[in-house]
A and B are shown apart, each in its own frame.
Chain A
Amino acid sequence: SQQGEEDPQALSIQEGENATMNCSYKTSINNLQWYRQNSGRGLVHLILIRSNEREKHSGRLRVTLDTSKKSSSLLITASRAADTASYFCATDNAGGTSYGKLTFGQGTILTVHP
């Protein structure tokens, strides 16, 4: 079953606005990763946040992780039309093999209007 669940499923904003996407999960994790996908193409890694971290930044991206609530958020500031894409969270689930068993959410479709 899918562990990572993104919210909202779709988000439509104007250029310059901020976009926030949320991800919830159910089990313990080693890390949580955010990816971007443009229209059926390969996924591109954005940020990885480990279970002992609470916040990470990369350019216009800010990711937070709340392990007590089993949730994460991705904030894109000052959005651009080129940010239009699907965004996925993926959890690397702690378990017998420790790493490697990744579970992706169904994604948030972000549309940024010029």
Chain B
Amino acid sequence: EAQVTQNPRYLITVTGKKLTVTCSQNMNHEYMSWYRQDPGLGLRQIYYSMNVEVTDKGDVPEGYKVSRKEKRNFPLILESPSPNQTSLYFCASSYIGNEQFFGPGTRLTVL
């Protein structure tokens, strides 16, 4: 089944404790992206990647890192999480210039 998977789905952590949210797709898509969704703000793009080893900043990259070492994986890294990074995070993938397929979301709470 074609899909985008994210892990974990739910995470509660404390300020400053490094964490990684994984994202994987099995559709051989070149493009992958991370978004955060907050009430009243819609979805905002954090980082995106056009292919392996090619990443670029979205609208809200501060406090996040990404890497794209393999085509199928695009992990989101929070080196030192803070409470303002409490949010619902979505990973998505697509062929470049086409519709995106979204993962189920990761609900992160930073205390």
Within 8 A of A (CB), among B66-103: 88, 90, 92, 96-103
For chain A, the count of residues having a C-beta within 8 Å of the partner chain is 26
* A33 in contact with B99 given A88-B43, A102-B33, A104-B42 (CB within 8 Å): yes
In whole Å, how far is A24's beta carbon from the nearest beta carbon of chain B?
Answer: 14
Give bound CA distance, A107 to B43, whole Å: 9
A59: CB under 8 A from chain B? no
* A42 in contact with B102 given A100-B48, A104-B42, A107-B42 (CB within 8 Å): yes
Residues of A within 8 A of B96 (CB): 99-100
Give bound CA distance, A105 to B13, whole Å: 29
In whole Å, how far is A66's beta carbon from the nearest beta carbon of chain B?
Answer: 21
Determine the interface band of chain B, counting residues with CB < 8 A from chain A. 20 to 34
**A residues lining the B interface (CB < 8 Å):** 1-2, 30-31, 33, 35, 40-45, 48, 88, 90, 92, 97, 99-107
**B residues lining the A interface (CB < 8 Å):** 31, 33, 35, 40-45, 48, 50, 56, 58-59, 88, 90, 92, 96-105
* With A41-B105, A92-B97, A104-B45 already in contact, 8 other A-B pairs whose C-beta atoms are closer than 8 Å: A33-B99, A43-B100, A88-B43, A97-B50, A97-B56, A100-B56, A101-B48, A104-B44
